[in-house]
Structure formats: C-alpha cells, structure tokens
Copies of this chain bind each other. A is one copy, B any other.
C-alpha cells in the first residue's frame, strides 16, 4: 500500500483544521500539543490558512509553514455528505483525503462532519482488499478494561460476511492497539445458545466458527460490560443504538443521584461530599475522553473525532494514528483477510 513511500520511519498525519465545532482553534492547538509531545511524526494542517495563522499569531506560537496546506472551503457539520463531497472538491476534508490517497500522507484526522469523513475515506482511499464494508468500533468500558464493539455506525443491514470482517479487523485492533493477547470474539445475540440470533448473526457465527479467531459464540447485551468477551460484533444499527444508550448512562446516574439527594439532608450531604470521587469513577464512561475512532477497512489511516473534540482529544487522535502506523495495522488487516479468502474460501 505504501509502495511509493520508501521512508516508513515518520508517520505523516493530516489534520482537517476546519473540522469540528471549535475549528480551527482546537485543531491547531491539538496539533501544537502533538508536535511538542509526539516524536517521529510529520504533521500537516489542511484548511483556511488565514484562520490557521490567526490562531497561531494570537497564541504567539509557530507551526512549520510548509506543513500548512490551504483549502478554500469547508464541509459544514450539517451538510449532506454525498452532495458536499461532490460540490466541494476544494474543501479541507477532500484535499486531505486526496493527500492520503496519493500516498503523500499516511493518516487523515477530522472532527468534522462524520458522514462526510466516512464517505471521503471510503470513496477516496478505497477499501483494503478483502473488505466488503469498512467499520467503526467503540471502546466500551467493562470490568476487565475494554470491550471492542463493531460496528457502531458505519453501516446498517450488514451481511454475515461483513460481521465476519468486523471480527477479523476488531480482533487485530484489540490485539495491536488494545494490547489484548488472543482476544475473544462473540456475536451479539438474544442468548448464548445457537439459534438465539437473527438470520444475519447466526450466519456470521457459522463463518466465525470456521475461522482461526478465538470465537466464543453468541454473547448477550450484558456481556459487553461483564468482561466475558473482548470483541463483540453486530450490525451497525444495533451497535449504534447501544453506543448511544451507553453514552446517556452518566446523565441518568446524575439524575438518580440528584433525586436521592432530594430525599433527605444526610443523603444530600453524602453525595455532595463524594461528588469528586464519583466524577472520577464515572470518567471512564465519558466516551469523549478517548479522542477519535478509527474507520477500519479503508486504504489509509482514517480517524473520526467527536464534533466537540478538545485540543487533547485531537492530540490523542494523532497518537492513535501513529500507533496504528507503527504497528502496520492496515497491512495486518489485509494480510489476515487475504489468508481467509485464499485458504478458507470465505470471501
């Protein structure tokens, strides 16, 4: 994939400076943090150069001039992705995606329009051979650390083969980035027994049983949190709903605590005294802490940030991109999927 690029020592990262609710400010500040803290990266800011330079001069800081790449336009948060891609080839996102496609960069990071980022990555970079559908995962906190849930929104109405690919890519991600040795994989279902799934999940289980993955069979909704399984695969429709349900849990807890505090003064006082500790305990439920989520399966590193990404979140996205690059995750995905298509005739 990187045949035109002889030097793999430095990961070249594009930040869409115009993406997100606090652009270009947070993207520029995040880039500066990354430059200061992360070694062996070559960082580029793509976007309105006046806007970028204004942030730099206001903060009285400097950024390599030749690494600021001007783009005339911006794809806004609310725009229709497909239309925006067509009508704005001169947008920061499209210019950034073009640089990765042309092997002039290795990674594309954007906290902007999620749909546009997914579409630009898929259409401009193309899919890794063997991948029918790219996928976005979520790192769900569980009692062991993390459960990797795929897919949480790249696609609905997935076919069994897609779930199989999610499992292959998710396992590699959990191993290489999550540091989990031989991660266990389950298919989300209504019960552990065979036949407790729907048509797609049951067919996906059949494919996974024939694979060399550490497949443990059907798992239930609770197993995402109980630590029984490291990687869970499901259709994007289901995964997206679970992810958003999970994101709302802290708000419900806050409400339940405030209701309890109303009951009497002692409870109120105790909750007030413990508030800092509770906040600390619940921090892991704050999905925004993690920075962005990679779109796996496209020919290039593509990391999608939350619209409200902080400079720290942007920096974390750079760190993640570098780690994926250093471990050649995309090469490993291609290699792994090609083995299945050759040996097992599964693709």
Contacts and interface: CB of A to CB of B under 8 A. Distances in A.
Interface of A: 141-143, 153, 156-157, 188-190, 197-199, 220-226, 234, 236-238, 240-249, 251-253, 255-257, 259-260, 263, 266-267, 270-271, 273-274, 277, 280-282, 284-285
A21 to B, nearest CB: 18
A227 to B, nearest CB: 8
Given A244-B220, A245-B221, A190 B273 contact: no
A285 to B, nearest CB: 7
Interface class of chain A by DSSP:
helix
Contact of A280 (B157, B220, B224, B267): B267
Given A157-B198, A190-B241, 20 more contacts: A141-B256, A156-B190, A156-B197, A220-B241, A221-B241, A221-B244, A221-B245, A221-B248, A222-B248, A225-B245, A225-B248, A225-B251, A226-B248, A234-B241, A249-B249, A253-B282, A256-B281, A256-B282, A259-B281, A270-B273
- Choose among A190, A249, A251, A284 the residue with the greatest number of B CB atoms under 10 Å from its CB: A190
Nearest to A235: B198
B190 A252 contact: no
